[in-house]
Chains A and B, each alone.
Chain A
Amino acid sequence: MSVGQDPVSDAAPPSIDAVSRAETARLRADARLANTIADFFLDADGRLDERTRLTLARVLDGIVGAIEADIRRHAARLLAGAGDTKRGEAVLKPSGRQGGVVARLTRAGLLHDDELMDELIARVRHDLIADALPIAIAGPDEASLLVRLAGVPDSVVASAASALLAAESRRRAANENGTVAGSELSAELHHRLVWWIAAAIRADLRDATAEGDQAITDAALRSLSAHDEGDRPEAVAMRLAAAIDARPEELPSLLVESIGDRRLSLFVAVLAQATGLAFDQARGITLEPEGDRLWLALRAIDLDRPTIARIGLALSEADPRRDIEAFADALDGIVAVSIADARAAIAPLALHRDFRAAMRALARSDRR
Chain B
Amino acid sequence: MTAFDHSIESAVAHAVIGLDGVLRSADPALIALNQRAGGELGRPLAVPQLATLTRLARRLGIVVSRGVVVADDEADIDLWVRAQPEGDTIRLAVSGWREVQPWRSTARTGDARAALLLGDADWRWETDASLCLTFVSLEAGPRHGFDAFALLGQPLTTMFALDSGADGALPILESLARRRAMTAQPARLRGSDRPVMLSAQVRHDTTGAFAGFIGAARMVQPEAPIPPADAPLSATFTSGLDRALRTPLARIVANADSINAQADGPVQPDYADYAADIASAGRHLLELVDDLVDLQAVERPDFTLAVERIDLADVARRAAGLLSVRAGNAEVGIARPAIDDHVWALGDFRRVLQILVNLIGNAVRYSPAGSEVRVMAGPTNGHVAVVVADQGKGIAHEDQARIFEKFERVDTSEAGGNGLGLYIARRLAKAMQGDLTVESAPGEGARFVLTLPTDTARGEDQRQA
Contact = CB atoms under 8 A, between A and B. Distances in A.
Given A144-B129, A144-B132, A328-B56, A165 B138 contact: no
Interface stretch (A75-83, A216-224, A304-312): A304-312
Contacts of A324: 56
Given A144-B130, A144-B132, A135 B205 contact: yes
A318 B66 CA distance: 12
Contacts of A309: 60-62
B135 interface: yes
Interface in A159-200: 161-162, 165-166, 169-170, 172-173, 177, 179
A57 B48 CA distance: 39
Interface stretch (A21-29, A42-50, A145-153, A231-239): A145-153
A317 interface: yes
A328 B152 CA distance: 38
A328 B61 CA distance: 9
B152 A169 contact: yes
A173 B139 contact: yes
Contacts of B210: 137, 140
A142 B129 contact: yes
Contacts of A144: 128-130, 132, 134, 212
A143 B132 contact: yes
A150 B2 contact: no
A165 B153 CA distance: 8
A306 B59 CA distance: 10
B148 interface: yes
A331 B148 CA distance: 43
A305 B138 contact: no
A166 B149 contact: yes
A150 B205 contact: no
A2 B212 CA distance: 73
Contacts of A140: 129, 209-210
A135 B211 contact: yes
Interface residues of B, number: 33
A331 B59 contact: yes
Nearest to B204: A135
Nearest to B137: A173
Range of interface residues on chain A?
35 or more
B295 to A, nearest CB: 41
A306 B61 contact: yes
Contact of A313 (B60, B148, B207): B60
B64 interface: yes
Given A309-B60, A313-B60, A165 B134 contact: yes
A66 B318 CA distance: 65
A134 B206 contact: yes
B153 A161 contact: yes
Contacts of A207: none
A105 to B, nearest CB: 27
Interface string B187-222: 000000000000000011111011110000000000
A72 to B, nearest CB: 22
A137 B56 contact: no
A310 B60 CA distance: 8
A356 B267 CA distance: 56
Interface in B88-145: 128-130, 132, 134-139
B1 interface: yes
A305 B58 CA distance: 13
Contacts of A169: 135-136, 138, 148-149, 152
B206 A136 contact: yes
Contact of A142 (B2, B130, B139, B153): B130
B243 to A, nearest CB: 31
A133 interface: yes
A346 to B, nearest CB: 23
Nearest to A328: B59
A57 to B, nearest CB: 21
Interface string A329-341: 1010000000000
28 contacts: A132-B1, A133-B1, A135-B204, A135-B206, A135-B212, A137-B210, A141-B129, A142-B129, A143-B132, A144-B128, A144-B129, A147-B128, A147-B134, A150-B153, A169-B136, A169-B149, A173-B137, A177-B139, A306-B61, A309-B61, A309-B62, A310-B62, A317-B1, A328-B55, A328-B56, A328-B59, A328-B60, A331-B59
Interface of A: 132-137, 139-144, 146-147, 150-151, 161-162, 165-166, 169-170, 172-173, 177, 179, 260-261, 305-306, 309-310, 312-313, 317-318, 324-325, 328-329, 331
Given A140-B129, A147-B128, 11 more contacts: A135-B204, A135-B211, A137-B128, A139-B129, A146-B134, A166-B152, A169-B135, A169-B136, A169-B149, A328-B55, A328-B56
